[in-house]
Amino acid sequence: MSGPAAPPSVAPVPAVPTNALVEYLLRLGDDRLVLGHRVSEWCGHGPILEEDIALSNVSLDLLGQATMLLRLAGDAEGRGRNEDALAYFREVVEFRNCQLVELPKGDFAFTIARQFLFDVYAVVMLDALTGSIHGELAAIAAKSLKEAKYHVRHSGEWMLRLGDGTDESHRRVQKAIDDLWRFTGELFAPDDVDRAMQAAGIGPDLAALRPTWESLVRDVVSRATLTIPNDLPRVASTRGGRTGSHTEYLGHMLAEMQIIARSHPGATW
Amino acid sequence: MVAQAVRATREALLSVLDRVMDPEVPVLSVRELGIVRDVEVDPTGSVTVTVTPTYSGCPAIRVIEQDIVAALEQAGYPGARVRTTYAPAWTTDWIAPEAKAKLKAYGIAPPGRAESGELVQLFRRRATAQCPYCDSYETELRSEFGSTACKSVCWCRACRQPFEEFKAI
Distance CA B31, CA B37 (A): 8
How many CA atoms within 13 Å lie on the side-chain side of B11? 0
Which residues of A, range 168-197, sit inside 8 Å of B by Cβ? Answer: none
Task: Quote the pLDDT of residue A234.
Answer: 61
* Nearest chain A residue (CA) to B124: A153
pLDDT of residue A7: 42
Q: Which residues of B touch A156 (CB under 8 A)?
A: 120, 122
User: Do B80 and B128 share a structural domain?
Assistant: no
- Quick: pLDDT tens for B115-125: 777 899 888 76
Q: Which residues pair with A54 in a beta bridge?
A: none
Q: Pairing between strand B161-166 and B108-109? A: parallel
What count of Cα atoms within 13 Å lies in the side-chain half-sphere of residue B167? Answer: 24
Residues B70 and B127 both lie in one domain: no
How far does Cα A205 stand from its chain's mean position? 17
Residue B121 identity: Q
> Can you name the CATH fold of A20-263?
Ferritin (1.20.1260)
- Asked whether residue B31 is domain-assigned, the answer is yes
Mean of pLDDT over chain A? 91
Select from A218, A219, A237, A238 the least CA-distant residue to A228: A218
Greater confidence (B58 vs A237) lies with B58
Question: Within a domain: residue B18?
Answer: yes
Question: C-alpha distances in angstroms, A105 versus A36, A102, A152, A253, B28?
Answer: 11, 8, 17, 11, 38
Closest CA to B15 of B35, B33, B39: B39
Q: Which of B51, B84, B117 is the last residue of a domain?
A: B84
Q: Do B122 and A216 touch (CB under 8 A)?
A: no
Which burial class, exposed, middle or buried, applies to A216 when counting CB atoms under 10 A from its CB (0-12, 13-18, 19+)?
Answer: buried
Domain that holds residue B59: 10-84
Q: Nearest by CB to B86, which of A68, A156, A216?
A: A68
**Based on the structure, what is the number of domains in chain B?**
2
Distance CA A164, CA A167 (A): 8
C-beta atoms of A67 and B57 within 8 A: yes
Distance of residue B119 Cα from the nearest chain A Cα, in angstroms: 6
Tell me the pLDDT tens digit for each residue of B107-160.
Answer: 999 998 887 778 998 887 667 899 999 999 999 999 989 988 899 999 999 999
Count of alpha carbons within 13 angstroms of residue B146, beta-carbon side: 19
Q: What is the pTM of this model?
A: 0.91
CATH at B32: 3.30.300.130
Contact list, B85 vs chain A (CB under 8 Å): 139
**Residue A102 vs residue A236, higher pLDDT:** A102
**Which chain A residue's Cα is nearest to B61?**
A64
Q: How many CB pairs under 8 A join A and B?
A: 96
Distances in Å between the alpha carbon of A53 and those of A115, A117, B147? 15, 21, 7
Helix A108-129 with A135-163: angle, nearest 10 deg = 150
Name the B residues in 133-162 with CB < 8 Å from any A CB.
142-147, 149, 153
Beta bridge pairs of residue B72: none
Domain boundary pick from B31, B51, B84: B84
Query: What gap in Å lies between CA B106 and CA B21, rounded to an integer?
Result: 14
Whether the predicted pLDDT of A2 surpasses 70: no
pLDDT (tens digit per residue) in A45-68: 999 999 999 999 999 999 999 999
Kindly indicate whether the ipTM for this predicted assembly is greater than 0.85, answering yes or no: yes
Q: What mean pLDDT is predicted for residues B17-40?
A: 95
Nearest CA to A68 out of A16, A18, A134, A155 is that of A134
pLDDT digits over B44-81, tens only? 889 999 999 999 998 889 999 999 999 999 999 999 99
User: How far apart are the C-alpha atoms of B75 and A240, rounded to whole Å?
Assistant: 55
User: Chain B residue with minimal CA distance to A122?
Assistant: B119
Range A119-124 average pLDDT: 98
pLDDT digits (tens, 9 = 90+) for A169-208: 999 999 999 999 999 999 999 999 999 999 999 999 999 9
Residues in chain B: 169
**Model pLDDT, residue B115:** 77
**Whole-angstrom Cα distance, residue A157 to residue A224?**
9
- Render B105-131 in DSSP notation, one character per residue: HHTEEPP-PPP---SS--S--SPPPPP
Among chain B residues, the shortest Cα distance to A148 is held by: B119
Taking each continuous run of H as one helix and of E as one strand, the counts in chain B are 3, 7
B59: contact with A, CB 8 A cutoff: yes
The three-class DSSP label of residue B45 is coil
Q: Looking at the domain assignment, is residue B129 inside a domain?
A: yes
Cβ neighbors of A194 (< 8 A, separation 6 or more) are: A24, A203, A206
Nearest 5°: CA angle at A255, between A252 and A260? Answer: 155
Number of H helices, E strands in chain A: 9, 0
Asked if residue B19 belongs to a domain, the reply is: yes
Q: Tell me the percentage of chain A whose pLDDT exceeds 70.
A: 90
Would you call B101 an interface residue with chain A, using a CB distance cutoff of 8 Å? no
Same-domain pairing of B113 and B69:
no
- Is-contact A73 A22, C-beta < 8 A? yes
Instruction: Parse chain A into domains and list their residue ranges.
Output: 20-263
Contact at CB, B153 and A123, closer than 8 angstroms: no
